[in-house]
Amino acid sequence: MNEGRAKLALASGSPRRLALLEQAGIKPDLLCPTNIDETPKKSEMPRSLVARLARAKANAALTKRKVVDLGPSTFILGADTVVALGRRVIGKPDTIDEASYGLKLLSGRSHRVYTSVYLITPKGTARQRIVETKVRFKRLSREDVESYLVSGEWRGKAGGYAIQGRAEAFVQKLQGSYSNVVGLPLYETVSLLQGTGYPVYFNWFNAG
Protein backbone atom coordinates (compact mmCIF):
# COMPACT_ATOMS: atom_id res chain seq x y z
CA MET A 1 0.00 0.00 0.00
CA ASN A 2 1.27 3.44 -0.97
CA GLU A 3 0.36 5.40 2.12
CA GLY A 4 1.92 8.60 0.77
CA ARG A 5 -0.42 8.95 -2.18
CA ALA A 6 -3.54 11.01 -1.56
CA LYS A 7 -6.64 8.84 -1.62
CA LEU A 8 -10.33 9.66 -1.76
CA ALA A 9 -13.22 7.85 -0.08
CA LEU A 10 -16.69 8.81 -1.28
CA ALA A 11 -19.22 8.41 1.54
CA SER A 12 -21.99 7.58 -0.91
CA GLY A 13 -23.21 4.74 -3.06
CA SER A 14 -24.88 7.08 -5.55
CA PRO A 15 -24.00 6.17 -9.15
CA ARG A 16 -24.83 9.75 -10.13
CA ARG A 17 -22.25 11.24 -7.75
CA LEU A 18 -19.65 8.73 -8.87
CA ALA A 19 -20.33 9.55 -12.53
CA LEU A 20 -20.03 13.28 -11.86
CA LEU A 21 -16.69 12.85 -10.09
CA GLU A 22 -15.40 10.71 -12.93
CA GLN A 23 -16.61 13.36 -15.38
CA ALA A 24 -14.29 15.76 -13.54
CA GLY A 25 -11.41 13.29 -13.86
CA ILE A 26 -11.62 12.14 -10.24
CA LYS A 27 -11.81 8.44 -9.45
CA PRO A 28 -12.45 7.65 -5.77
CA ASP A 29 -10.31 4.90 -4.27
CA LEU A 30 -13.28 3.67 -2.25
CA LEU A 31 -17.08 3.93 -2.26
CA CYS A 32 -18.30 3.88 1.32
CA PRO A 33 -22.07 4.34 1.51
CA THR A 34 -23.34 4.97 5.02
CA ASN A 35 -26.65 4.10 6.58
CA ILE A 36 -27.90 7.13 8.50
CA ASP A 37 -31.36 8.36 9.42
CA GLU A 38 -32.25 11.06 6.89
CA THR A 39 -35.50 12.10 8.59
CA PRO A 40 -35.71 15.91 8.95
CA LYS A 41 -35.92 17.20 12.50
CA LYS A 42 -38.92 19.22 13.57
CA SER A 43 -38.87 22.68 11.93
CA GLU A 44 -35.49 21.92 10.30
CA MET A 45 -34.85 24.11 7.27
CA PRO A 46 -33.68 22.51 3.99
CA ARG A 47 -30.20 24.10 4.13
CA SER A 48 -29.71 22.94 7.71
CA LEU A 49 -30.89 19.45 6.80
CA VAL A 50 -28.43 18.94 3.91
CA ALA A 51 -25.59 20.39 5.98
CA ARG A 52 -26.30 17.99 8.84
CA LEU A 53 -26.73 14.91 6.64
CA ALA A 54 -23.59 15.49 4.55
CA ARG A 55 -21.58 15.96 7.74
CA ALA A 56 -23.11 12.83 9.29
CA LYS A 57 -22.30 10.73 6.21
CA ALA A 58 -18.67 11.83 6.12
CA ASN A 59 -18.22 11.33 9.86
CA ALA A 60 -19.85 7.88 9.70
CA ALA A 61 -17.40 6.85 6.97
CA LEU A 62 -14.42 8.22 8.94
CA THR A 63 -14.31 5.31 11.38
CA LYS A 64 -15.15 2.49 8.97
CA ARG A 65 -12.43 -0.14 8.75
CA LYS A 66 -12.10 -0.04 4.98
CA VAL A 67 -11.63 3.75 5.10
CA VAL A 68 -9.03 3.50 7.87
CA ASP A 69 -7.22 0.84 5.83
CA LEU A 70 -6.70 3.33 2.99
CA GLY A 71 -4.07 4.99 5.16
CA PRO A 72 -3.38 8.41 6.66
CA SER A 73 -3.48 10.35 3.37
CA THR A 74 -7.22 9.84 2.84
CA PHE A 75 -9.78 12.51 2.05
CA ILE A 76 -13.41 11.68 2.86
CA LEU A 77 -16.17 13.28 0.81
CA GLY A 78 -19.78 13.29 1.96
CA ALA A 79 -22.73 14.86 0.17
CA ASP A 80 -26.48 15.16 0.48
CA THR A 81 -29.13 16.64 -1.80
CA VAL A 82 -32.67 17.75 -1.02
CA VAL A 83 -35.47 19.27 -3.06
CA ALA A 84 -37.54 21.92 -1.31
CA LEU A 85 -40.69 23.86 -2.04
CA GLY A 86 -40.30 26.82 0.27
CA ARG A 87 -39.56 25.35 3.69
CA ARG A 88 -41.04 22.00 2.74
CA VAL A 89 -38.66 19.17 1.83
CA ILE A 90 -39.87 16.91 -0.97
CA GLY A 91 -38.06 13.73 -0.02
CA LYS A 92 -37.23 10.51 -1.84
CA PRO A 93 -40.54 8.75 -2.49
CA ASP A 94 -40.92 5.15 -1.34
CA THR A 95 -44.08 4.47 -3.34
CA ILE A 96 -45.55 5.48 -6.68
CA ASP A 97 -48.29 7.40 -4.86
CA GLU A 98 -45.69 9.47 -2.99
CA ALA A 99 -43.86 10.13 -6.26
CA SER A 100 -47.10 11.23 -7.92
CA TYR A 101 -47.90 13.57 -5.04
CA GLY A 102 -44.43 15.13 -5.18
CA LEU A 103 -44.57 15.75 -8.93
CA LYS A 104 -47.97 17.38 -8.62
CA LEU A 105 -46.60 19.68 -5.91
CA LEU A 106 -43.72 20.73 -8.20
CA SER A 107 -45.93 21.15 -11.27
CA GLY A 108 -45.92 24.70 -12.63
CA ARG A 109 -43.88 26.01 -9.70
CA SER A 110 -40.32 26.93 -8.83
CA HIS A 111 -38.44 24.85 -6.29
CA ARG A 112 -34.92 24.82 -4.93
CA VAL A 113 -32.36 22.04 -4.91
CA TYR A 114 -29.74 22.14 -2.15
CA THR A 115 -26.60 20.04 -2.01
CA SER A 116 -24.11 20.10 0.82
CA VAL A 117 -20.58 18.86 0.16
CA TYR A 118 -18.58 18.00 3.28
CA LEU A 119 -14.88 17.15 3.06
CA ILE A 120 -12.69 15.73 5.82
CA THR A 121 -8.98 16.12 5.06
CA PRO A 122 -6.15 13.79 6.13
CA LYS A 123 -5.28 16.35 8.83
CA GLY A 124 -8.77 15.94 10.30
CA THR A 125 -10.00 19.39 9.33
CA ALA A 126 -13.37 19.76 7.66
CA ARG A 127 -14.67 22.06 4.94
CA GLN A 128 -18.23 22.43 3.75
CA ARG A 129 -20.09 24.08 0.89
CA ILE A 130 -23.83 24.37 0.37
CA VAL A 131 -25.03 25.03 -3.17
CA GLU A 132 -28.53 26.13 -4.17
CA THR A 133 -30.13 25.85 -7.61
CA LYS A 134 -33.54 27.20 -8.53
CA VAL A 135 -35.61 25.04 -10.89
CA ARG A 136 -38.98 25.79 -12.45
CA PHE A 137 -41.15 22.99 -13.82
CA LYS A 138 -43.73 23.48 -16.53
CA ARG A 139 -47.31 22.71 -15.61
CA LEU A 140 -47.43 18.94 -15.75
CA SER A 141 -50.35 17.26 -17.47
CA ARG A 142 -51.86 14.04 -16.19
CA GLU A 143 -50.12 12.26 -19.06
CA ASP A 144 -46.76 13.82 -18.09
CA VAL A 145 -47.05 12.55 -14.53
CA GLU A 146 -48.37 9.10 -15.36
CA SER A 147 -45.79 8.51 -18.09
CA TYR A 148 -42.95 9.60 -15.83
CA LEU A 149 -44.12 7.35 -13.02
CA VAL A 150 -44.16 4.38 -15.41
CA SER A 151 -40.53 5.12 -16.37
CA GLY A 152 -39.42 4.36 -12.79
CA GLU A 153 -36.85 7.17 -12.84
CA TRP A 154 -38.33 8.61 -9.66
CA ARG A 155 -37.07 5.77 -7.49
CA GLY A 156 -34.39 6.82 -5.01
CA LYS A 157 -34.33 10.42 -6.27
CA ALA A 158 -34.66 13.54 -4.12
CA GLY A 159 -37.91 15.21 -5.11
CA GLY A 160 -38.93 12.13 -7.07
CA TYR A 161 -37.24 13.08 -10.33
CA ALA A 162 -33.94 12.80 -12.20
CA ILE A 163 -33.06 15.93 -14.15
CA GLN A 164 -30.46 13.99 -16.13
CA GLY A 165 -33.24 11.77 -17.46
CA ARG A 166 -36.71 12.31 -18.86
CA ALA A 167 -37.56 14.98 -16.28
CA GLU A 168 -35.28 17.47 -18.01
CA ALA A 169 -38.16 17.89 -20.45
CA PHE A 170 -40.20 19.34 -17.56
CA VAL A 171 -37.69 22.11 -16.77
CA GLN A 172 -38.71 25.56 -17.99
CA LYS A 173 -35.92 27.42 -16.25
CA LEU A 174 -32.84 26.63 -14.19
CA GLN A 175 -30.75 29.15 -12.26
CA GLY A 176 -27.47 27.90 -10.88
CA SER A 177 -25.52 24.67 -11.06
CA TYR A 178 -26.96 21.86 -13.18
CA SER A 179 -24.64 19.25 -11.65
CA ASN A 180 -25.94 20.31 -8.25
CA VAL A 181 -29.42 19.13 -9.26
CA VAL A 182 -27.97 15.82 -10.45
CA GLY A 183 -26.42 15.38 -7.00
CA LEU A 184 -22.95 16.93 -6.79
CA PRO A 185 -21.97 20.52 -7.68
CA LEU A 186 -18.75 20.01 -9.61
CA TYR A 187 -17.31 23.51 -9.40
CA GLU A 188 -17.58 23.65 -5.61
CA THR A 189 -16.49 20.03 -5.13
CA VAL A 190 -13.36 20.38 -7.27
CA SER A 191 -12.56 23.71 -5.58
CA LEU A 192 -12.85 22.11 -2.14
CA LEU A 193 -10.62 19.19 -3.07
CA GLN A 194 -8.02 21.31 -4.82
CA GLY A 195 -8.02 23.92 -2.06
CA THR A 196 -7.29 21.33 0.63
CA GLY A 197 -4.46 19.63 -1.22
CA TYR A 198 -6.10 16.78 -3.12
CA PRO A 199 -4.28 16.48 -6.47
CA VAL A 200 -7.24 16.95 -8.82
CA TYR A 201 -5.24 18.15 -11.80
CA PHE A 202 -2.44 15.62 -11.25
CA ASN A 203 -5.09 13.00 -11.89
CA TRP A 204 -6.02 14.76 -15.14
CA PHE A 205 -2.42 14.59 -16.33
CA ASN A 206 -2.29 10.90 -15.54
CA ALA A 207 -5.69 9.99 -16.94
CA GLY A 208 -4.14 8.40 -20.00
Alpha helices in the chain (DSSP H): 15-23, 46-62, 65-68, 96-106, 142-151, 178-182, 186-195, 200-205
Q: Which of 203, 181, 206 is CA-nearest to residue 194?
A: 203
Number of H helices, E strands in the chain: 8, 7
The residues that are catalytic are 80
Cα dist from 69 to 29, 119, 125, 186, whole Å: 11, 18, 19, 27
Residue 118, classed as helix, strand or coil, is strand
> Which amino acid would we find at residue 100?
S
